[in-house]
Amino acid sequence: MKVSVACTLTLMLALAGCSLTLDASHLGVPATLASSASAPVEGTPFSVTSRAVYGLWGVVKFSEPSLQRTLASQLAGGQAVANVRVRVRSKFSDVLITGLTLGLVVPRAVTIEGVIVEK
């Protein structure tokens, strides 16, 4: 009996996970993920860090950052964004909260970086 419970819990933890989906198709401005290495883009770099919070070992999304709102706060009309990079990481405090709540609350730091380019 104990073996089957342990196997079930292990399988649940292996299948559970946090996922972050960012859709750049509806941004309203041109966006590129990478520029040519021979012709790097020139513009104003930006970096915005926000929080994503998941629950139940990453199965349920409590909150996640919005790529549209983040870029809208950086862009004005007639601009584009290039070299967009999204980094998701766990800070020490995130790991501590996850451990103290036994995975019921799983916070993550999400950093969106890029370069604002004048058209």
Q: What angle do CA 30, 112, 59 make, to 5 degrees?
A: 110
What's the whole-model pTM score?
Answer: 0.67
| pLDDT tens digits in sequence order for the chain, 119 residues long | 566 766 666 655 555 555 566 655 566 666 666 776 777 778 888 888 888 888 887 778 888 887 777 777 766 665 777 787 888 888 898 889 888 888 888 888 888 888 887 76
The pLDDT score that the predictor gives to residue 17 is 56
Q: Is residue 5 part of a domain?
A: no
Domain residues for 24?
Answer: 18-118
In a domain, 33, yes or no: yes
In this structure, what are the phi and psi dihedrals at residue 86, rounded to the nearest 5 degrees?
-120, 125
Total count of domains within the chain: 1
